[in-house]
Structure formats: structure tokens, C-alpha cells
């Protein structure tokens, strides 16, 4: 669907829903499509309509969660005036109301990221993720990895690289043959680079250049080249000092 048609399609679906009461699933679908295409106002209008009309519980909760995720995605959009603290409070209300379950993993992960990386509330961020790991039943290895990876990110950002490294290693070990494992290997290599372990980081990045994920492979290649250039410069400076 062309971007300029989202608003018109939404208006038509809302008008039809007001007559039939059977278009909420279509409105939710349009909202998700609009959010994916960064048409945040159209998406939020659609989610808001569903919330205002006391929809079916499943559709209502889906709209509520995706409204918050869309607002978070729009934080970098200058046209969107979003108060981060209010948004964080809204996340908390949703999580407390809906509860900890598998469908809430994206919300829990994003809420923790908002707390840590935008509001510097590291303790609440780590507590939120640990609650997810503890309270959500029957998490798969991959789902645990998603939450643990975000927890490691929080530790890395809050200047606890050793705890972050430990968690990254756990996720990698438990997700060896998945794209998640490769993504976390890249995070661990980046952290090692920032900690000054250039040669080890480069060795890991050179392996990741063969990743099945094009984005991971490209990021690994870019950082590997940067490290190579830095190592060459380091050797050049060292040789220069010997000549003094």
C-alpha cells in the first residue's frame, strides 16, 4: 500500500466499523502496516481508535502493546512530541495490567531499553528483565536469549562490561546455530573492541563476516576494517617511537 493511502484506508475502515462493529482486526492490520512504514500518526490514530472503543480483549491488548512500541520507535522523529518519562510510565502500566507472558517480551525488552538508554534508570531496567526471565513460563532458549541479550546491553551501558560479557557468552553458547547467536557475537566483539581487546575482537568479527545475516555480516566487516586500520596505525606509531 502506498504511504499516502494509509490515512484514507484507515478512515474507510473506521467508518465501516462504526456501522458493522466487525472491522477492528482490519484496523489493527492497517495500524501495524503504517507503523512498519514509519507513518506514526496514522498508526497511533488506528491504535487509539481500537483502545477508545473497548475492543475484543486480544485485539485491545495487541493495540495497546503496539501503540507503545510505535511511540518508542518514533522517539527519533522530530515531528513526534513524546515525553520519555511519561512513555516509560505508560509501559509500566501496560506490563502491570497485562502481566508477564511470552507476547509481552517485545514490550519488556523495549521498556528496559527505554529505562536504561534514555532515562539512565539501570536498576529498574535490570529488575524488569529479570522479572521477565523469572515470571514468564516455558520460555524457549531463543526467548531467554533475547531477554538476556538486552540485560547484557544494559550492563554494558551502565559500565559493567564483565557482567555483560558473561551474559553475552551464555546467550552465544545456547544459540550457536541461530541468527540471535551471531547478533550477540557481534555485540560481544564490539564490547571487546571498546575494552581495548582489538585483536580478539577482530578475530571474532572475521568469523562473523560469513554470517547468514547480511546486516550482521556487513557490521562485522565494517568494524573489522576499522580495527585493522587502528592496529596498522598503532604499529606505525610504535615503529616511529623506536626510531626516536
Summarised one tens digit per residue, pLDDT across range 173-226 is 999 989 999 999 999 999 998 898 888 888 888 888 877 677 788 888 888 888
Q: What is the pTM of this model?
A: 0.88
**More confident: 45 or 80:** 45
Range of the domain at 233: 185-244
Q: Are residues 136 and 152 in the same domain?
A: yes
Q: Are residues 55 and 23 in the same domain?
A: yes
CA 59 to chain centre: 22
Going by C-beta distance under 8 Å and a sequence separation of 6 or more, which residues neighbour residue 40?
Answer: 34, 70, 71, 73, 74, 77, 79, 80
Average pLDDT, the chain: 89
Q: Do the domain assignments include residue 198?
A: yes
Q: Are residues 87 and 75 in the same domain?
A: no
Tell me how far apart the alpha carbons of residues 216 and 222 are, in angstroms, rounded to a whole number: 10
Q: Do the domain assignments include residue 135?
A: yes
Of the candidates 44, 50, 53, 49, the residue with the CA atom closest to the CA atom of residue 62: 50
CA 120 to chain centre: 17
Q: Are residues 121 and 166 in the same domain?
A: yes
Q: Are residues 160 and 103 in the same domain?
A: yes
Cell, residue 70:
510505535
Dihedral sign (CA 74, 78, 82, 84): positive
Q: Are residues 168 and 236 in the same domain?
A: no
| Alpha helices for the chain (secondary structure H) | 6-20, 24-36, 40-52, 57-73, 84-98, 105-113, 119, 122-135, 141-157, 161-174, 179-194, 198-208, 214-242
pLDDT at 218: 86
In the structure, what pLDDT confidence band is assigned to residue 239 with cuts at 50, 70 and 90? very low
pLDDT at 231: 66
Q: Do the domain assignments include residue 180?
A: no
Tell me how far apart the alpha carbons of residues 3 and 42 are, in angstroms, rounded to a whole number: 10
pLDDT at 205: 85
Residue 96 has pLDDT above 60, yes or no: yes
Residue 244 has pLDDT above 70, yes or no: no
Q: What is the CATH number of the domain that holds 152?
A: 1.25.40
Q: Do the domain assignments include residue 92?
A: yes
Q: Express each pLDDT in 108-152 by its tens digit.
A: 999 999 999 999 999 999 999 999 999 999 999 999 999 999 999
> Are the C-beta atoms of 80 and 40 separated by less than 8 Å?
yes
Domain count along the chain: 3
Q: Are residues 153 and 90 in the same domain?
A: yes
Three-class secondary structure of residue 56 per DSSP: coil
**More confident: 59 or 81:** 59
Tell me how far apart the alpha carbons of residues 52 and 162 are, in angstroms, rounded to a whole number: 46
Q: Do the domain assignments include residue 11?
A: yes
∠ at Cα 81 (79, 87), nearest 5°? 135
In the structure, what pLDDT confidence band is assigned to residue 3 with cuts at 50, 70 and 90? low
Q: Are residues 98 and 168 in the same domain?
A: yes
Residue 242 has pLDDT above 80, yes or no: no
Q: Are residues 222 and 165 in the same domain?
A: no
Amino acid at each position: 500500500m502506498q504511504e499516502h493511502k494509509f490515512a484514507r484506508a484507515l478512515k474507510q475502515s473506521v467508518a465501516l466499523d462504526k456501522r458493522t462493529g466487525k472491522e477492528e482486526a482490519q484496523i489493527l492490520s492497517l495500524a501495524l502496516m503504517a507503523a512498519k512504514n514509519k507513518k506514526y500518526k496514522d498508526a497511533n490514530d488506528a491504535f487509539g481508535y481500537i483502545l477508545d472503543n473497548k475492543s475484543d480483549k486480544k485485539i485491545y491488548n495487541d493495540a495497546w502493546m503496539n501503540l507503545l512500541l510505535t511511540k518508542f520507535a518514533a522517539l527519533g522523529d522530530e515531528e513526534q512530541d513524546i515525553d520519555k518519562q511519561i512513555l516509560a510510565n505508560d509501559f509500566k502500566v501496560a506490563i502491570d495490567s497485562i502481566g508477564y507472558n511470552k507476547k509481552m517480551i517485545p514490550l519488556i525488552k523495549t521498556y528496559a531499553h527505554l529505562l536504561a538508554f534514555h532515562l539512565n534508570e539501570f536498576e529498574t531496567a535490570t529488575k524488569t528483565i529479570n522479572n521477565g526471565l523469572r515470571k514468564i513460563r516455558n520460555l524457549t532458549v531463543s526467548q531467554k536469549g533475547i531477554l538476556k541479550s538486552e540485560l547484557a546491553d544494559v550492563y554494558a551501558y551502565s559500565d559493567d562490561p564483565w557482567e555483560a560479557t558473561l551474559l553475552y557468552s551464555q546467550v552465544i553458547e545456547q544459540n550457536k546455530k541461530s541468527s540471535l547467536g551471531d547478533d550477540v557475537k557481534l555485540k560481544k566483539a564490539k564490547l571487546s573492541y571498546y575494552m581495548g581487546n582489538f585483536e580478539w575482537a577482530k578475530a571474532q568479527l572475521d568469523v562473523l563476516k560469513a554470517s547468514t545475516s547480511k546486516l550482521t555480516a556487513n557490521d562485522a566487516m565494517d568494524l573489522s576494517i576499522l580495527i585493522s586500520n587502528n592496529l596498522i596505525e598503532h604499529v606505525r606509531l610504535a615503529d616511529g617511537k623506536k626510531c626516536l
